[in-house]
């Protein structure tokens, strides 16, 4: 049972970290709606475990792992039924900026994001944890619930795939 003290500690902790958790989840999932779902699922589970987590030290690591797990579980359940759109038609997009070079920057960013989004969920999560969260391989392995060698392998395979796609797209 959750005590009143833990409930009081939990809410400010979540409020303070929610933007970072949503940003992390967005990078792992690839879209805002899935990120919100993953964070909500992770925080619901975290609330039940909060008394233990708040005593043991770093609840943020636990929540990040819960976000990754929620995304992978959701992908397993619904991923095969979702069909990503390969490209957005130009006539449906309203430009926000018209500065020279801005369109090229947006296009490049979009291309990189599409390549990352095409990675398998565990590889994408490992890349985000390594290069966005700046975690070492042992921490990544702990968050993904796999051996350190597997975490290294996820990152290595993701980088090979990204390099291959980049070299194929370059004239």
Report which of 130, 133, 164 is spatially closest to residue 148, judged by C-alpha positions: 130
CA 148/CA 145 separation, integer angstroms: 9
Any residues with CB less than 8 A from the CB of 45 and at least 6 apart, and which? 66
| First and final C-alpha spacing in the chain | 61
Please, are residues 46 and 66 in contact by the beta-carbon 8 Å criterion? yes
pLDDT for residue 160? 92
Residue 77: per-residue pLDDT: 60
What's the confidence (pLDDT) of residue 170? Answer: 57
> What confidence score (pLDDT) does residue 7 get?
56
pLDDT at 82: 53
pLDDT, averaged in runs of 10, over the chain (171 residues): 54 91 89 90 87 79 88 65 53 49 69 82 89 89 92 94 79 55
């Amino acid at each position: 049972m959750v005590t009143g003290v833990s409930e009081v500690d939990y809410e400010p902790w979540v409020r303070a970290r929610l933007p970072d958790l949503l940003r992390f989840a967005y990078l792992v999932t690839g879209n805002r709606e899935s990120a919100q779902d993953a964070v909500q699922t992770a925080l619901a589970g975290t609330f039940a475990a909060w008394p233990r987590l708040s005593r043991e030290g770093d609840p943020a690591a636990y929540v990040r792992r819960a976000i990754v797990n929620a995304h992978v579980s959701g992908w397993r359940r619904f991923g095969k039924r979702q069909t990503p759109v390969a490209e957005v038609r130009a006539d449906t997009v309203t430009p926000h900026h018209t500065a020279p070079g801005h369109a090229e920057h947006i296009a490049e960013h979009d291309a990189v994001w599409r390549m990352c989004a095409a990675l398998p969920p565990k590889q994408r999560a490992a890349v985000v944890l390594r290069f966005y969260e700046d975690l070492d391989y042992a921490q990544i392995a702990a968050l993904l619930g796999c051996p350190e060698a597997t975490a290294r392998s996820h990152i290595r395979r993701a980088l090979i795939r990204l390099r291959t796609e980049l070299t194929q797209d370059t004239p």
